[in-house]
Each structure stands twice: as C-alpha cells, then as structure tokens.
A and B are shown apart, each in its own frame.
Chain A
C-alpha cells in the first residue's frame, strides 16, 4: 500500500487539520523508517502506518486520540540496531569483567593489574576458553554475538539450544581439552543468555511446592555431570540484554530463595545475574499517568487470549503476562509482558471485542 495514501486515511480517521497532519506525518515517516517498519512480523505493504490505522479503527473517535497519544509518547520500541548494540556490549562489558575478576582472585592481584602481566593475560585467555555460552531462547541472538566476537569466542563454546544431550556435553568438553591442551580441563563459566526478562517468572518460579523454569531445567540437565564438566568453583552467569526493573530484583530474590530452600547439593553454588540495559522503574503504565489508556485496555479485552501459560503469573492478561503493564515492543516480537492491547489478535468468536494488534505477537507458547 502506498504510504501517502494510508497517511491520508489516517488523517481522516484522526480528524487532523493540515497543520497537525503535517507534523504527525513527519513524525510517522521518521519513526517508521528508523524503527517501526523493521518489526519482523510486518509484511511488505502492511507495515507500521497500515497497522496503526487498522489498530486505531477499533476505537471510537475520542478513544483514538488517547490511543494515538499513547503510541506517540509512551510506546518504547527497541530496534534491531539497538538490540544488536546491546549484544555487542555483552562481551566487553560483562564477560570480560567477570573473567577479569576471576583471574584477579586466583592470582591475588587487583583487577586492574590483570593486563599488566603475561601470566595473568594467559590465565584470562584460558578462562575465556573455559567459558560456555548457551542461549535460552531464539531471541538471544547468539548468531550476532558469535559474529561480533569472532576470533575471541570459538564456535565450540557457543550452544544454540538451552537443552542438549550428553553426547553434546562430551563433544564440548573434548573440544575444550584439545584447545587448551589439557586432558583434565573443565569449564569454569557458563553464561545463559536471553534477550528479555519482564517478570522473571519464566526463568525461575515456585509452582505449588516445586521449583520450575528455565534455570530449574538447566539444573536438571547438568546436575549429574557437574563433577565431570565443571571446575569445583565454576560460576553460572545469567545475562539478559534487556530487563525490567522489577525483574532485575525478582530474579535475584527468587534465586536466593531457591538456593536456601533446595540446599547446597540441589542448586547452583555461584549464580550471577547481569543485564545490558535495565528499563526504568516508572516504565510500566500506571493509573495515575496513563489512566485513560488503561481504561481502553480494560474495555477492549478479549479473555480468549488467556492460556494456561499466561495464567501462570496472574489472573488475566490485560496488562500482559505477570501484570507487568509494559508499553514495550522488541523488533523481533512483542513481549507477552506488554499490555495485551498492543499485541493481542482475536476473532471475537466468544462475543467479546475482537482485538486487533498494533504489533502482532508471535506466540511461543500455544
């Protein structure tokens, strides 16, 4: 569809006069080109502006102004370039520092002296090779991570699936021992990498009396091989490129609880969390700042989007999974922690309002 045509329709839909239309067209063109049109679920001919018109049509005239104002002033969109930048920061800002600290500890020297002696530098390089990078989901962009760190991180250190069999573990260890020329070598660090954490529930939560989540699954997969594959004082590092302020706190607290409840033999000894970017605490929509828009999320809600997965963390999904109320869109998918009005797509078969998405979400859990 020609963008100029659809902009005309938008001006009509929003009842903009020429001045307002000129200003908004300029903003829409800029933001579409720089960011929104890159959303991976958009199709050629039906990108952001088309999607916006379709989304706004479900509201009344007065509500459209509220909804558009939300897009204009509250929506947070992380583009491919921005996400890739966070991926690029991961190694120099997080991995290097973790390894540098470990070298300093082992040699009893200050961290800043690590680069000044050949012995420390050699140990740093050995520890780097003794590090595994495992992606927790396909949003972890491990391909980008590999490319930007070519020459530093070998392909044999990167695992593109969170769960793998014993044969794979054996191969990884064999490659490590060959590379460091030490038949006794084991891994010293494991980095579990993911793109986004909104509530922390998917990572680790207690269901009835049982701990579950990605961390628990990883524990189950490796607990019997700990002595074989890992050094005695190995560290598990969990890194997310983006986190909410709530999740940053929650994952640390939940992990501490799991550790104390399960005991030393049933949980990781040394877990560290890190984040390339933590979203501000006042990002979630609130009744005081976003009252009119939250009223829309209430009015235009179809509970058919709820599944057993969404019910895990809350009563309904109006404000997104875990009631996170995020106005957030990531270029490859909209997190389910974002408000449902942004991403939900329903038929209205149950007599409820058929929800139209602005940034359609690809469901990972069906």
Chain B
C-alpha cells in the first residue's frame, strides 16, 4: 500500500503523466488567470515568490512544453480536462494548440559557480547569462523534439530589428541554432567545470563572443503532423528560472535586472523563495499594500516586472476558501492514487475525517459542573442570574445544531466572569443581582473561547474535520500533504483492520498535534533556533490569554504597528532577518495593514503547525498588541 501523500515534492514525479494526474489546477487559475487576461504574463519579467511547498515548482512544471503536450495528447481525458481548462485560461493553450514553449531551468545546479570565478563582475554575469541562454535554447528544442517535432520543422522567428543578429545564434534553422547552442554550452561548461579557472585572457571566443538569443528571438515556429496538423504555428518561448534563491544575491539582482528589460520578446519567469531577498525587501514584499486590488491575488505590477506572491494575499476569507477548495481537490487526486483507498473510492478527504465533536467524559463533565457551581458561588451570582445566563447560552444555538453539555458549561462560566466584570462596583447592600454595564451575549467568540478552555483543561479534541486540516496548512500545499499523510495512513490502517474508513475527532486532533510538534522539532532553516524561540514566546503568551476565565480574546497573532514594522529592517536588522526566515519557512504569516482600534497594525500570525502544537485558535483576527522592541527582547538570550 503506497501513500502518495508522503511524496510531497513534484520534482519526485519524473513522468509528466504521473505529475499531471495529481496536480490541481486551482492555484493556476487563482494566481495566473488575471495577469494572463491582462497580457502581463508573457510580455515582461514575472517574479514568483513563495515559501517552500507553496507550489512554485508545480506551477512551473505545468508550463513546460512536455507537460503541455502531455495535456494536449490526452484531450478528452477526464483526468486532464480541468488542467487543460486552467492552462487555456492562463493563455498557454488556445484552440487546442499550445501558445508557449516553456522550459524550466533549476538554478540549484552549477549556475552559482560563476560567482566564485576570479573575474570582473561584468564578466561573471556575462558568463551566467550566456549559460542560461544556451541551456534554455537546448531545453526548448529538447522539449519540442520529445513531443515528436523534428529539428528540421523548428525555426526561429527573429525580432524585426534583430534579423541581422541572427548569425550570432547560428541562423534561423533549428539545426543551426541547436548546433550553436551546444557549442556555447560546452565551452562555458568547460570553464565552469575546470578545477582551476582559466585566465580571463585564455577564455575561448565561444564564451566571450556575442551570444544573446533572448535578445534576438521573438517566436519559435514549428510544424507538426500530430500537434499542429501540418500547419505552421508560432510559439512564445518561455524560460522559467526555478529556485533562483540558489544564486548569489548579486547574481540574482543581475539576472533580475537583465530579464526586466522591456525589449526582450521572450516570456521569462523567475521563481524564488524569500531567502534571497534582503530583510527589508522580503518584509516589504509580504507587507505590501494589496488592499486596493483584492481581485489580483498576490499580484503587484510595475511596468517592467509582474510580481506574484504565492502565499498570504488579498482578502483573507477569500484566500482561505480558495485554499480549502484547492486542498480538497488535491487530496482527491492523491487519494485516487492511493493503492488501498483509491480502488475503494474513498477519495473525499472530508468523508474520511469526522466532524462530529467528541465531548469530554462523564467524570470530567461532573468535575466541570462542580467548578462552574464554585465559580457561581465565588462570584456571588444568583441562581436567577445563572438561569438567565444559561438562556443566553441556549439562545446561541443556530438551527438544529445543538451545543454539547461541556461547551454549554464552559460558555456559562465565561459569561459568569464577564457578568462579574461588568457589574464590578455596582453591588450594594440593597441590590445583590445588579444589571451588567453592557448586555451579555454568547457570540461565536464565547463559543470559540469555551472550546479552547476545554482543550487546555481537559484536552477536548479541538482540531478535526477537513476544514481545520486545510486551515492548519497555512495555505501551503506541501504542509497540507504533510499533515494529511498521517491521517490518510491511519484511515488506511483502519481499513486494513476492517474498521470504518473514518477518523473520529480525538484521533484527528491527537495525530495532527503530534505531527505539528514533529514538524517544528525538525525545523532546519537559517535562524531556525531564533525563530523557534520567538514563536514559542508569542504562542505561550497567546495561550495564556486564550485561557483567561472571561475568554475576552483568543489570539493567534502578535501585532505591531504597521509604521514600526515598515522601519524594522533599518531600526532592528537582526529582528528583521529572523522574521524574514520565519515568514520564508511558514512559521509566521504576515497580515499587513490590519485596522483595529483606529490604528493600522501588522499582524504576525502563527503558522498552522504552531497553532496545532500550542493549541491556538485557527480563526483569524485575534492578536496581542505588542511592539518591535518587545519582539527584539524576546530574541535576546536572557530577556529581562
């Protein structure tokens, strides 16, 4: 029995068909449909930034020509239909034909080596650009030939003002261009692979000569009997530089500058994590004001660069709903591939995870009941007032959904404390049951606080159901798969043991918390120890507040004033650096420009694993007010 949820990275799926069968088209349309409609996806540099597991490489792989042609080969197949539809919406397919020929160059191989050479920066950058261009050309041709298009059926369409430069890339025929690209790649590779870098003066002409195919090429023209039915078809070349954070920061800047030039006609995407950015820039990216354009998720555009942020963006509720949809779709595709659950049609993650709450035991309920009675006595609340408060709790029932006895008692206790607080100083010799200064209501906040009180006092299952699983994933596909894997394994084990294929709330809750703790224990990214120290301090403060008897706040975030956050990189670079990596690796989500009490806040929201491990609400918005100075003091060795 193989559990595909354990195979997280799409790079592990070498075969295009296997890759396409598990990929969900949801993020494709969500992130790229609009820019494609606006025409900015293929005409300028597009900079994708996201955390590990946010789906960067998955997006890139979908635009590789081999994946596109696999989709087109299987027209009519139900499995690929939605992917094909999404690619059409993104402008990569039109009328059943491809419009782009994409190739992905992972930057983690030998590209950074150029930085180590004892040459001038201009020459080092020049070598890098030449290498990228030669490899991109070879990759485009390789993809086209793999799709059954002969080299002789491929030709280059130059930019109208670059026809004279055609000779520098070998000409316009496919064979000549490939021949030239091979020569250049070989020559540059000889330099990269040399044990001792050759003298600058000894570099061969093939390396130092003019070779700028990106400046020359406008389109690649193909004829294919199978793909284009013998017609000529012009494709936009698309080069995708994946994992660009492997480059040296100076190389990255040079590449960004080079590809942002407006005169380039090829499509070019650069995909990176946040690591490569300077702290100020990284935090500015996630704190950017996107409230003005909620319809462009994660997108900000300049005239030269389109920016796509593959994480927290736009309206939070919309974002969460979209991720839930995407995650469920992805889970269904993965479950179909599960050797045990797939054939049994157990492919809906929602139906595998019970949403039936698991109340506390009878003994614990009795204990709680006594505690509530003691609270009533201690706070001098009359029986008639208690009945009134119980009626308020009862009235909070919506429709047929009942409230279990334990929640009802916990809510009652919260209301008693609120009542006591709101009548402080009002009781007199003549009035032993004063009215509260403000009316009491049992709103969803009280309900949430009651559930958290029961979690922390009695370990009542709090995290269960498919929505909680999605919400705990911090809108990160890889994290969703990691959390789901253990649940799916357990369902499969139950099936093997002839038990029902559904996990009860307490099992889900326990497994999710165990997995989250393991994820945090295994953090291993730059500054992870400091990040862990910071988030543990914040999470502990959030728990302390969440279990306050009057349940006034159930926070999972720490707020600093937006103005303070904006200047953090200059006022406290070390803290900014730690926060950058906390954001880059999903420990923290930054929620910028959050209006509360007439002030603009920037919230540092705890990531899903932290909420699970510490027992914090997954509901958004509750935060502890703080400051940048306090964050810095949390990072000190022995804060006073």
A residues within 8 Å of B by Cβ? Answer: 3-5, 7-8, 11-12, 18-19, 21-22, 25-26, 29
Contacts and interface: CB of A to CB of B under 8 A. Distances in A.
Interface in B1-19: 1
B1 A3 contact: yes
- Chain A contact residues, majority secondary structure: helix
A4 B489 contact: no
The 3 closest A-B pairs by CB, nearest first: A22-B493, A8-B496, A21-B493
Interface residues of B, number: 13
13 contacts: A4-B340, A5-B496, A7-B496, A11-B493, A12-B497, A18-B493, A21-B493, A21-B497, A22-B486, A22-B493, A25-B1, A26-B489, A29-B1
Given A21-B497, A22-B493, 4 more contacts: A11-B496, A21-B496, A25-B493, A26-B489
Nearest to A26: B489
Given A7-B496, A8-B496, A8-B497, A18 B1 contact: no
B340 A11 contact: no
Contacts of A11: 493, 496-497
A8 B492 CA distance: 11
A12 B493 CA distance: 12
A3 B496 CA distance: 10
A28 to B, nearest CB: 11
A29 B489 CA distance: 12
B499 interface: yes
Nearest to B507: A18
Contacts of B486: 22
B498 interface: yes
Contacts of A5: 496
A22 B510 CA distance: 14
Nearest to B494: A18
Contacts of B26: none
A18 B340 contact: no
Nearest to B490: A22
- Chain B contact residues, majority secondary structure: helix
A4 B498 CA distance: 11
Interface string B467-498: 00000000000000000001001100111111
B338 to A, nearest CB: 11
A22 B489 contact: yes
A21 B507 CA distance: 14
Contacts of B497: 8, 11-12, 18, 21
A18 B490 contact: yes
A53 to B, nearest CB: 13
A4 B486 CA distance: 17
A18 B489 contact: no
Nearest to B496: A8
Nearest to B510: A19
A5 to B, nearest CB: 8
A17 to B, nearest CB: 9
A5 B498 CA distance: 10
Contacts of A12: 497
A29 B1 CA distance: 8
A48 B187 CA distance: 53
A29 B493 CA distance: 12
Contact of A4 (B1, B490, B499, B507): B1
A78 B356 CA distance: 48
A107 B507 CA distance: 74
Contacts of B499: 18
Nearest to A20: B493
A140 to B, nearest CB: 37
Contacts of A21: 493, 496-497
Nearest to B493: A22
A19 B1 CA distance: 17
From B340, B495, B496, B499, residue with most partner A Cβ within 10 Å = B496
Contacts of B496: 4-5, 7-8, 11, 21, 25
A25 B339 CA distance: 14
Contacts of A22: 486, 489-490, 493
Contacts of B493: 11, 18, 21-22, 25
A276 B497 CA distance: 44
A200 B497 CA distance: 47
A143 B340 CA distance: 40
A11 B497 CA distance: 7
A25 B489 CA distance: 9
B1 A8 contact: no
Contacts of B490: 18-19, 22
From A12, A18, A19, A25, residue with most partner B Cβ within 10 Å = A18
A25 B495 CA distance: 12
Nearest to B511: A19
A363 to B, nearest CB: 35
Nearest to B486: A22
Contacts of A25: 1, 489, 493, 496
Contacts of B489: 22, 25-26
A25 B1 CA distance: 9
Nearest to A29: B1
A11 B507 CA distance: 18
A284 to B, nearest CB: 35
A12 B496 CA distance: 10
A147 B24 CA distance: 47
Contacts of B495: 4
Contacts of B507: 18
B535 to A, nearest CB: 28
B341 to A, nearest CB: 11
A15 to B, nearest CB: 11
Nearest to A12: B497
Contacts of A4: 1, 340, 495-496
Nearest to A7: B496
Interface in B482-527: 486, 489-490, 493-499, 507
Nearest to B489: A22
From A19, A22, A25, residue with most partner B Cβ within 10 Å = A22
Contacts of A26: 489
B515 to A, nearest CB: 12
B78 to A, nearest CB: 27
A130 B495 CA distance: 63
A12 B494 CA distance: 12
B299 to A, nearest CB: 41
A108 B450 CA distance: 88
A23 to B, nearest CB: 9
A48 to B, nearest CB: 15
A157 B493 CA distance: 55
A131 B389 CA distance: 97
From B1, B486, B495, B497, residue with most partner A Cβ within 10 Å = B497
Contacts of A7: 496
A21 B486 CA distance: 13
Interface string B150-184: 00000000000000000000000000000000000
A8 B340 contact: no
A4 B494 CA distance: 11
Nearest to B1: A4
A7 B489 CA distance: 14
Nearest to A8: B496
A18 B493 CA distance: 7
A5 B340 CA distance: 11
A8 B494 CA distance: 9
